[in-house]
Amino acid sequence: MGAFGSYLTKLQPDFDSRLYGYKKLSDFVRAKTDLFEIEERPTPSSDQKVIYLRAKA
**Is 56:37 a contact under the CB 8 Å cutoff?**
yes
Q: What is the pLDDT of residue 17?
A: 95
> What architecture is domain 2-55?
2-Layer Sandwich (3.30)
Show Cβ contacts of residue 16 under 8 Å, excluding neighbours closer than 6 positions: none
Q: Where are the domains of the chain?
A: 2-55
Q: What is the pLDDT of residue 1?
A: 87
Per residue in 10-57, pLDDT tens? 999 999 999 999 999 999 999 999 999 999 999 999 999 999 999 998
CA distance 38 to 19: 22
> Does the model's pTM come out above 0.85?
no
Among candidates 15, 44, 31, 23, which has minimal Cα distance to 4?
15
Q: What is the pLDDT of residue 57?
A: 83
